[in-house]
Amino acid sequence: MTLENLTLEQKASLLSGKDFWSTKSIDEAGIPAIELTDGPHGIRRQSGDVDHLGINDADPSTCFPPAVAVGSSWDRDVAGQLGAAIGREALVFGVSVVLGPGVNIKRSPLCGRNFEYYSEDPLLSGVLGAAHVMGMQEVGPGASVKHFAANNQEHERMRISADVDERALREIYLPAFERVVTEAAPATVMCSYNKINGVPASHNAWLLTDVLRTEWGFEGAVVSDWGAVSERVAGVAAGMDLEMPGSGGATDQQIVDAVRAGTLDESVVDAAVRRVLALTQLPHTPTGELDVDAHHALARILAAESIVLLKNESETLPLTVASRISVIGSFAVNPRFQGGGSSHINPTRTDAALDTIRDLALERGITVEYADGFSLDSDSDDDALREQAVEIAARSDVAIVFAGLSDREESEGFDRDSLLLPQAQQALIQDVAATAARTVVVLSNGGVVSLEGWHDDVDAIVEGWLLGQAGGSAIADVLFGVVNPSGHLAETIPMRLQDNPSWNNFPGEQGHVRYGEGVMVGYRHYETAEVPVRYPFGHGLSYTSFQTSDLKVETTGPDTATVRVSVTNTGSVFGKHVVQLYVATAAGPVRRPARELRAFTKVALAPGETRQIDFILDRRAFAYWDIELSQWVVSSGDYSIQIGETVSDIVAERAISLSGDVIHRRLTLESTVSEWFSHPVVGSALMQGLSAGMSAEQIKHSEENPSELKMVESMPMQQFLAFVGGAIPAETLDHLMALSAAEPVTA
Ligand code: BGC
């Protein structure tokens, strides 16, 4: 497709949508319109009234497990299969670009949209996001990884400035996007609504051009979040290609005017147009038919892989010995399986857990009774409902309480202000637990809920998150042991909301949210500050047991290593184990988290089977972002390679030393005394120079009084020199400063 035949007006017209969901066509130039549609866990195609908050109905499609569930699967295959299945449905609808996945980091458990994101950890988020995109794009349609960047809350999401230091951006908030872009080459990246350090993402040249394109090599198109554009011309110049939805032509005219006025180079417009035109090469003619049954069955399998068994005292689960069970709680009948907002799917069907529980119980000769326990619509009849529930719990071997959050409590568009389950549900769990022989709690929630107040009273807890339309059956599969649970927490369950590192700075005030915790997000904080949590990142039980052995680590260069470890299924049933590899270090001039997830994999093992796992750790596994040098740095020093059952339960570790990067920082008069003396090139020369000007007595005095040196260590050289009265001539200093950076800075 050649741009020469297009007028400036035509080119500008291609840079914004025709309507809510499609781009403009130019028939005479053979340019078709394409459709973009939500979303991250299913196709929300609206053939009737349109909106970006899931208010109007969409055409029926499969609602697969939302990212909160996929995150807990810790399984690339789950993410990849899900992406591919959504891709197949997109083909059926003729949708070219599907708006997902979301890889924003769960900075606070309160974020109303956490159900659409994978994890509090960037590696886990990035690996799963990349698998999703690759799965989908292999099928044909393009993906849109979102929301770029630092969109970690819903409160004032359209205007808040996320004030984040660059190290936290580079180490926590950008790497998931970086991985998706560099490994999976998504067709589009969606810029977020918020500002980053005061500059809106939609015209943030640093973000959209310097980082995304120049550093990461992104070649696709940037699309705005729906309505995110505030300054269109600045946006085009910054690399924001496609404004969605349309602006009725107003912003197209601004682009034309800017080019004519000479304030926007036409070649910049051309580059954006080329990237938008590339999207028209994606499939856009409806093809094939929706295989409703096959995709529902797949949704059930993927959901079961994502369920996390948090607690299981005395092998309460699986339900093999019970002869009478009571199922309590409206969520067993009216499942909550997806979140509110733009990702809201009109499912092809939904499975209620109670129906599948009854089927599986019947096969096993188990009787089932059901009671609502609480009302999802009003609080008025909760006492009566609770009494009925306690009555059936009293005559059962096991009571299963389905608790959770309703759409009213969490959604896109607003954040929660508490982690608590509704009071009526807490009271119900406590009363049932006090009566029933055994109590199991099954949770349905998009964001973390507190387990305090009832955790110790119950025998088992199944974290079901939001599992998509087949989630009810998947829960029943896990309860009866048809599927052995293998999900692990992708986010910490804290004891108290106040323990969360963002707590003092969430959701911000006066238009700013300050990411004051820096890189200490989620488990990085809990582990480093040794804050007790209810369940740590990475936690998840199984109906079998696993053993880790034979950890071997070899360095393969100054900043790389290979790791080999064996895992054995030591129990009696088939199961899947997540091998979690963490790196811990105190090396370097910056504060490092106690440990960080640097690799993981999920392995399926028959009883008695052992598997050897190999990991390759590249330099990023050891690096931190150095704000002085504006680059990744691997410090010379000691590193511990740790295999954890969870982030706080390390079962094997090996120490290695890395020579790391040779970095000679440029010294200035602002550099501290300690930086001058410890400089590998200049330090000894300086010491000699100083000693030469000192009397033997002065030298003896300074050797005998090391604390005096300590007192001046953090003093800038300029001030120090003023005190010691010009002990070093200005020319010598200039020479030493030039020498300080003379050696190559390699990283
Ligand atoms: C959301 C996006 C979504 C878009 C279109 C926005 O409100 O933030 O995630 O893709 O609407 O529905």
- For residue 305, give the 3-state DSSP assignment: helix
- Minimum-distance ligand 1 atom for the alpha carbon of 102: 9
At 746, the pLDDT band (50, 70, 90 cuts) reads: very low
pLDDT at 55 over 80: no
Of the candidates 38, 59, 163, 225, the residue annotated as catalytic is: 225
Q: Which of 226, 242, 243, 345 to mutate to test the pocket of ligand 1 (most atoms within 8 A of CB)?
A: 226
For residue 172, pLDDT beyond 70: yes
The answer, yes or no, to whether residue 667 has pLDDT greater than 50, is: yes
Distance 147 CA to ligand 1 centre (A): 9
Q: Distance, CA 53 to ligand 1 centroid (Å)?
A: 7
What is the rounded distance in angstroms from the CA atom of residue 638 to the CA atom of residue 620? 15
Predicted pLDDT at 725: 67
Ligand 1, atom 11: nearest CA belongs to which residue?
A: 52
Check pocket membership of 119 for ligand 1, CB cut-off 6 A: no
pLDDT of residue 726 exceeding 60, the answer is: yes
Q: How far is the CA of 349 from the centre of ligand 1 (A)?
A: 24
Whole-angstrom CA distances from 642 to 54, 506, 533, 536, 651 are 43, 32, 20, 16, 8
| pLDDT greater than 50 at residue 723 | yes
Cβ-proximal residues to 512 (8 Å cutoff; 6+ apart), any chain: 160, 161, 163
Of 131, 25, 31, 151, the C-alpha closest to 81 is: 131
Paired with 398 in beta bridges are 325, 438
Question: How high does pLDDT run on average in the chain?
Answer: 95
Give the number of the atom of ligand 1 that is nearest the alpha carbon of residue 192. Answer: 8
Band of residue 747 on the pLDDT scale cut at 50, 70, 90: very low
Q: How far is the CA of 131 from the centre of ligand 1 (A)?
A: 21
pLDDT attached to residue 1: 57
pLDDT tens across 368-395, in order? 999 999 998 876 788 999 999 999 999 9
C-alpha 225 – ligand 1 centre gap (Å): 6
- What is the mean predicted confidence (pLDDT) over 341-365? 96
Task: Give the residue whose CA is nearest to atom 12 of ligand 1.
Answer: 52
Rounded CA-CA distance 493/550 in Å is 31
Which of 22, 45, 52 to mutate to test ligand 1, by most ligand atoms within 8 A of the CB atom? 52
- Return the residue whose CA atom lies nearest to atom 9 of ligand 1: 342
- Res. 356: pLDDT tops 80: yes
Measuring from atom 7 of ligand 1, which residue has the nearest CA? Answer: 52
Please tell me the predicted confidence (pLDDT) of residue 456: 98
Atom of ligand 1 nearest to the CA of 144: 10
Instruction: Tally Cβ neighbours within 10 Å of residue 489.
Output: 25
225 lines ligand 1 (CB under 6 A): yes
The tens digit of pLDDT for each residue in 671-722 reads: 998 899 888 888 888 877 777 777 778 778 877 887 777 888 899 988 888 8
113 C-alpha to ligand 1 centroid (Å): 11
What separation in Å is there between the alpha carbon of 351 and the centre of ligand 1? 27
The confidence score (pLDDT) of residue 744 equals: 54
Q: From atom 3 of ligand 1, which residue's Cα is the shortest distance away?
A: 342
How many Cα atoms are found within 13 Å in the side-chain-facing hemisphere of 149?
25
- 21 C-alpha vs ligand 1 centroid, how far in Å? 11
Judged by average pLDDT, the poorest of 53-57, 683-687, 728-732 is 53-57
**Closest ligand 1 atom to Cα of 54:** 12
Helix (H) or strand (E) holding 258: helix 250-261
Tell me the CA–centroid distance for residue 340 and ligand 1, in Å.
12
Question: Residue 341 CA: which ligand 1 atom is closest?
Answer: 7
Q: Which of 21, 22, 35, 38 to mutate to test the pocket of ligand 1 (most atoms within 8 A of CB)?
A: 38
Q: Which of 110, 105, 103 is nearest to 120 (CA)?
A: 105
Cα–Cα dist 201/205, whole Å: 8
What's the Cα-to-Cα distance from 451 to each of 496, 533, 627, rounded to whole Å?
Answer: 10, 11, 39
Mean local confidence (pLDDT), 48-71: 89
Identity of the amino acid at 423: Q
> Which ligand 1 atom sits nearest the alpha carbon of residue 44?
12
Tell whether ligand 1 has an atom less than 6 A from the beta carbon of residue 98: no
State in Å: Cα 673 to ligand 1 middle: 52
Q: What is the pLDDT of residues 420-448, one digit of tens each?
A: 999 999 999 999 999 999 999 999 999 99
Q: Does ligand 1 have an atom closer than 6 angstroms to the CB of 171?
A: no
d(CA 63, CA 346): 7
pLDDT digits (tens, 9 = 90+) for 84-118: 999 999 999 999 999 999 999 999 999 999 999 99
Give the ligand 1 atom nearest the CA of 38: 10
Identify the CA nearest to 374 among candidates 309, 338, 328.
Answer: 328
The DSSP line for 44-92 is B--SSS--SSS-S----B--PPPHHHHHHHT-HHHHHHHHHHHHHHHHH
Calculate ∠ Cα 737-741-747, nearest 5°: 155
146 lines ligand 1 (CB under 6 A): yes
Q: Which atom of ligand 1 is nearest to the CA of 99?
A: 10
Percent of the chain with pLDDT over 70: 99
The answer to whether residues 5 and 14 touch, using CB atoms and an 8 Å cutoff, is no
CB-ligand 1 contact for 596 (6 Å cutoff): no
Q: Is 52 in the pocket of ligand 1 (CB under 6 A)?
A: yes
- Cβ–Cβ under 8 Å, residues 405 and 444: yes
Measure CA 157 to chain center.
Answer: 17
Find the 493 Cα to ligand 1 centroid distance in Å: 28
Mean pLDDT of the 201-221 span: 98
Q: What is the position in ligand 1's atom list of the atom closest to the CA of 39?
A: 10
Residue 550 is a catalytic residue:
no
Question: What residue owns the CA closest to ligand 1's atom 5?
Answer: 52
CA of 202 relative to ligand 1 center, distance in Å: 14
Quick one: tokens of 62?
């499969």
For 451-491, what is each residue's pLDDT tens digit? 999 999 999 999 999 999 999 999 999 999 999 999 999 99
38 lines ligand 1 (CB under 6 A): yes
Q: Evaluate: CB of 402 within 6 angstroms of ligand 1.
A: no
End-to-end distance of the chain based on CA atoms, in angstroms?
Answer: 41
Asked whether residue 331 carries a pLDDT value surpassing 80, the answer given is yes
Tens digits of per-residue pLDDT, 136-157? Answer: 999 999 999 999 999 999 999 9
Strand segments, DSSP code E, in 295-352 are: 308-312, 324-328
Pairing of strands 575-585, 596-605: antiparallel
As given in the structure block, the two tokens for residue 205 are 């040249």
User: Each residue of 250-281: b (16+ CB within 10 Å) or e?
Assistant: ebbebbbebbeeeebebebbeebbbbbbbbbe
Amino acid 526 reads Y
The string of pLDDT tens digits covering residues 396-418 is 999 999 999 998 889 999 999 99
What pLDDT is recorded for position 743? 59
| pLDDT at residue number 382 | 87
* Residue 297 DSSP one-character state: H
- Mind giving me the DSSP string for 351-364? --HHHHHHHHHHHT
